[in-house]
Structure 1
Amino acid sequence: MGLMDKFKGKAEELKEKASELAGKHSDQIEHIVDKAGDAIDKATKGKYSEKIEHGAGKAKDAVGDFAHKPKPGGEGQTPQPPQP
């Protein structure tokens, strides 16, 4: 196994972990996105409210698409593919 294969495997492992954490904490992430949007809207005095709201919605959708949702009664772990 070459060095690049090891890096690729580690990157995939880190992506999976980030996805799992995003799923477990999606409510908190959405709350932070809302707070950031409100702060930006206030700083711009409502001039870009519609664009900010649209961007916040896109950010929440992206988190939802990326996140692995925990399974009810389970650890929320997704099965790992076998390593060669």
Structure 2
Amino acid sequence: MHTILVILGGVVLFMVLALVARTVTWLQQHLLTTFALLWFIAAATNMAVGMVHAGYSFMAELPIFFVVFLVPVVLAWMTTQKRRR
């Protein structure tokens, strides 16, 4: 359940950035890159919390990190590709 909530958090972050990008020209041009960088930091922080507080090992958290990071980034990439058409 936690993983789904974190992924939804990534989708919400992208939606907020996309709304802000409507008024900020620089962000319009770099929306996907900015989102991917911010989301990488958030997903890595989530992984670190899982390792420190929940006691999971790095190798146990790594697949979850990839899912948490890649699902919102792929959805964001698909959205930006659809907008460019």
TM-score, normalised by the number of residues in structure 2: 0.48
| Structure with more of its chain in helix, by fraction | 2
Q: TM-score, normalised by structure 1?
A: 0.49
